[in-house]
Structure 1
Amino acid sequence: MTQRRGRRALHILGRLGAQETSRAVKSRWTQRRGEHAEVSADRQRAVAIRQALEQLGPLYIKIGQILTTRPDFVPDYVREELALLTDQATVHPFASFAEVLEEELGADWHASFNSFETDEPLGAASLAQVYRTTRRDGTPCVVKIQRPGSIEAVLGDMQVLRRVAKVIGRGAPRFNEVIDISAMFDVVFRAMADELDFTREADNMKDARKAARDYKTIKIPKPILATPRVLIQTLADGQSANRLKGDELSTKQRKKVAKELMAYVFKSYFTDRAFHADPHPGNFLISPNGKAHIIDWGMVGRLDRSTSTAVLGAMVSIAYNDGPALARSWMQLGTPLPWSDVGGFISDISRFVPHVTDASLEKLNFGVALTSVLTFSTRRGIQTSPNVSMIGKSIANLEGTVRYIYPRMKMADIIRDFTQSILTGLVHESISPEQLALHAITAIQGISQNYPGDISESEGNQRTPHGPGATSAHRAQSDPTERHPYQQTVHGRACRRMQPGPVRCSSS
Structure 2
Amino acid sequence: MFLTQTVPRQREIIEVLFRNGWDYMRRLLTGGKPDEPQLPTPAVLKNILVDLGPVYVKLGQLMSTRPDLLSASYIEELSTLQDEVPPVAWSEIEVVIRKQLKQPLEETFATINPVPVAAGSIAQTHRATLKDGREVALKVQRPGIDIIVNQDIALIQGIADLVARTEFGQTYEIKSIAEEFTKALEAELDFTREASYTEQLRRNLSQGRWFDPNQVVVAEIYWDVTTPKLMVMEWLDGVPLLSANLDDHQNGKSPAVERQRITTLLFRAFFQQLYIDGFFHADPHPGNLFYLKDGRVALLDCGMMGRLDPRTQRILTEMLLAIVDLDAQRCAQLTLQLSDSAQPVILSRLENDYDRMLRKYYNLSLSQLNFSQIIYELLQVARNNKIRLPSNMGLYAKTLANLEGVARLFNPEVNFIDEVQPLLTDLFRRQLVGEAPVRSLLRTALDLKSLSLQSPRHIELLLDRVTSETLQWNLSLRGLDGLRRTADDAANRLSFSILVGSLIMGAAIISSNARTAQLSFLSNVLFATASLLGLWLIISILRSGRLR
* TM score, norm. by length of structure 2: 0.67
Answering whether residue 434 of structure 2 is matched by residue 428 of structure 1, we say yes
1-structure distance, mates of 2:312, 2:181: 17
Amino acid across the alignment from 2:195: A
How far off its partner does 1:212 sit? 1.8
What is the aligned counterpart of 1:274 among 274, 279, 289?
A: 279
With over 3 angstroms needed to count, the CA separation of the structure-2 counterparts of 1:182 and 1:388, relative to structure 1, is farther
SS of residue paired to 2:87: coil
Give the Å deviation of 1:77. Answer: 5.0
Residue 191 (structure 1) shift: 4.4
Q: State how far apart, in whole Å, the 2-side matches of 1:106 and 1:329 are.
A: 52
Is 2:113 the partner of 1:114?
no
**2:174 corresponds to which of 160, 181, 184:** 181
Quick one: which of 274, 296, 299 aligns to 1:294? Answer: 299
> Matches of 2:334 and 2:383 in 1, distance apart?
15
Contact kept in structure 1, 2:237 and 2:292, CA below 8 Å: yes
Letter in 2 for 1:199: T
Checking the alignment, whether the CA contact within 8 Å between 1:184 and 1:386 is kept in structure 2 is: no
Q: Is the 8 A contact 1:116 1:133 kept in 2?
A: yes
Structure 1 CA distance for aligned equivalents of residues 96 and 257 of structure 2: 45
* TM-score (normalizing by structure 1): 0.71
Q: Judging changes above 3 Å, is the alpha-carbon distance between structure 1 residues 141 and 70 closer, same or farther for their aligned structure 2 residues?
A: closer
2:234 is matched with: 234
* 1:221 aligned partner: 219
Alignment deviations for residues 20-60 of structure 1 (CA, whole Å, 9 cap, x no partner): 279xxxxxxxxxxxxxxxxxxxxx96444323313434553
Matched, 1:285 2:290: yes
Is the aligned partner of 1:159 residue 2:164? no
Corresponding residue number in structure 1 for 2:339: 334
Aligned to 1:483: none
Name the residue aligned to 1:418.
Answer: 423
The Cα offsets for residues 421-458 of structure 1, whole Å up to 9 and x where unpaired, read as: 334555537989xx99xx9xxxxxxxxxxxxxxxxx99
Structure 1 segment 89-488 matched on structure 2, within 5 A: 89-106=85-102, 108-118=104-114, 120-173=115-168, 176-177=170-171, 179-213=172-206, 214=208, 215-225=213-223, 226-245=226-245, 247=247, 250-335=255-340, 338=343, 340-353=345-358, 355=360, 365-426=370-431, 428=434
Aligned to 1:332, what secondary structure does the other structure show? helix
**Alpha-carbon deviation of 1:267?**
1.8
Cα 1:55–1:271 shift into 2, 3 Å: farther
Amino acid at match of 2:50: E
Q: Secondary structure at the match of 1:232?
A: strand
Flag the structure with larger Rg. 2
Of 67-76 and 206-215, deviating more is: 67-76
The answer to whether the Cα contact below 8 Å between 1:191 and 1:301 also exists between their aligned partners in 2 is: no
How many aligned residue pairs are there?
413
Q: Distance in 2 between matches of 1:359 and 1:283?
A: 31
Matches of 2:175 and 2:242 in 1, distance apart? Answer: 34
Q: CA deviation at 1:344?
A: 1.8
1:88 aligns with 2:94: no
Per the TM alignment, residue 121 of structure 1 is displaced from its structure 2 partner at its CA by: 0.2
Q: Which of 47, 51, 60 is 2:56 aligned to?
A: 60
Q: Tell me, yes or no, if the aligned pair for 2:195 and 2:221 is still in contact at 8 Å.
A: yes
Aligned partner of 1:488 in structure 2 is: none
Greater relative contact order (Cα < 8 A, sep 6+): 1
Q: How far apart, CA to CA, are the structure 2 residues paired with 1:21 and 1:157?
A: 19
RMSD: 3.5
Distance 1:19 1:376 in 2: 30
String of CA shifts for 1:124-159, please: whole Å, max 9, x gaps. 111111001122232221111111232343344333
Structure 1 residues 73-99: Cα deviation after superposition (integer angstroms, max 9, x where no partner): 646554443222001122111122212
Tell me by how many angstroms 1:268 deviates. Answer: 1.6
Counterpart residue identity of residue 332, structure 1:
Q
Give the Cα separation in 1 of the matches to 2:16 and 2:167: 24
